[in-house]
Amino acid sequence: MNQFKTQTQTASTTTYDAGLRDHFRNVYNVMCLGLFVTGAVAYGIANWPAAISLLFGTPLKWVVMLAPMAFIFFGFTRNAVMKKTAGQLKTLFVLFSATFGLSLSTIFLAYTGADIARAFFITSGTFAAMSVWGYTTKRDLSALGSFLIMGVIGLIIAMVVNIFLQSTMMDFIISSIGVLIYTLMTAYDTQNIKASYSASHGDDANQKMAVMGALGLYINFIMLLQFILSLVSGRD
């Protein structure tokens, strides 16, 4: 009986591990799709002078800057997610990524290609390391949640204030704190994705959670990239 119980537990663990690996593969595939769309749109717009003039030389610039936030606050709320299929949610994520690409297109005008490439590789390495740590660590990172949320709120307030102050020192401090916050956020979100997975949720629910997990990691990557880019380039 004990041997049968052990074999059953081993089979169950093996099935769970395989399902979890597939779940994370889905998360990272969706996240990478979003990053590719964002990069392609940003690069394309940056090399299209007429589009740059239209989007950033007119009041449309406010629409471009605020549109990603509108997606977050209205498209990815709990109620909105519950009403959508996994396929619809993935399509919404791709549209969100494209919209974010519009607002990020100016980085190709403000920074050199070498700075962007260097920041991208640093961001990729940092993100990968923290995501692996968040997946493998036995330490409960849930206590970081409140700290990180307060940190993000404080960061947003500081960024708004610095729009008027235009302080180089404050920009450096904001970027440094931003790197710390979104580095920890990557590990925190990765552990949450792992903890939330269960085969019993069903394929549709797990696919929805994969898209939402990808959304969180995507935002972490984009924000981390921008703060690191600011630091490595020495520009605002």
Tally of domains within the chain: 1
- The predicted structure's pLDDT at residue 163: 82
**Confidence band, pLDDT 50/70/90 cuts, at residue 119:** very high
Q: What mean pLDDT comes out for the span 113-133?
A: 95
Mind listing the pLDDT tens digit for each residue in 170-224?
Answer: 999 999 999 999 999 999 999 999 999 988 888 889 999 999 999 999 999 999 9
Question: Percentage of the chain surpassing pLDDT 90?
Answer: 64
- The predicted structure's pLDDT at residue 79: 85
The token pair at 201 is 């949720």
Greater confidence, 89 or 3? 89
Q: What mean pLDDT comes out for the span 133-141?
A: 94
pLDDT of 145 higher than 70: yes
In angstroms, what is the C-alpha Rg of the chain? 20
**Confidence band, pLDDT 50/70/90 cuts, at residue 135:** very high
pLDDT of 97 higher than 90: yes
If you search the block for the tokens 């290609």, which residue do you land on?
Answer: 113
* Residue-wise burial string across 47-74, b where 16 or more C-beta atoms lie within 10 A, e elsewhere: eeeeebeebbeeeeeeebeebbeebeee
Q: Which of 80-89, 124-133, 167-176, 194-203 is most confident? A: 124-133
Tell me the residue range of the domain where 125 lies: 2-233
- The predicted structure's pLDDT at residue 160: 86
Distance CA 82, CA 228 (A): 35
Q: Which of 76-85, 143-152, 220-229 is most confident? A: 220-229
- The predicted structure's pLDDT at residue 189: 96
Query: Left if phi > 0, otherwise alpha if psi is -120 to 50, otherwise beta: which for 235?
Result: beta
**Confidence band, pLDDT 50/70/90 cuts, at residue 4:** very low
- Tell me the CA end-to-end span of the chain in Å, nearest whole number: 67
- The predicted structure's pLDDT at residue 12: 52
Surface-to-core class of residue 109, CB atoms within 10 Å of its CB (0-12 exposed, 13-18 middle, 19+ buried): exposed
pTM for the model = 0.90
Mind listing the pLDDT tens digit for each residue in 10-62?
Answer: 545 666 678 899 999 999 999 999 999 999 999 999 999 999 998 888 888 88
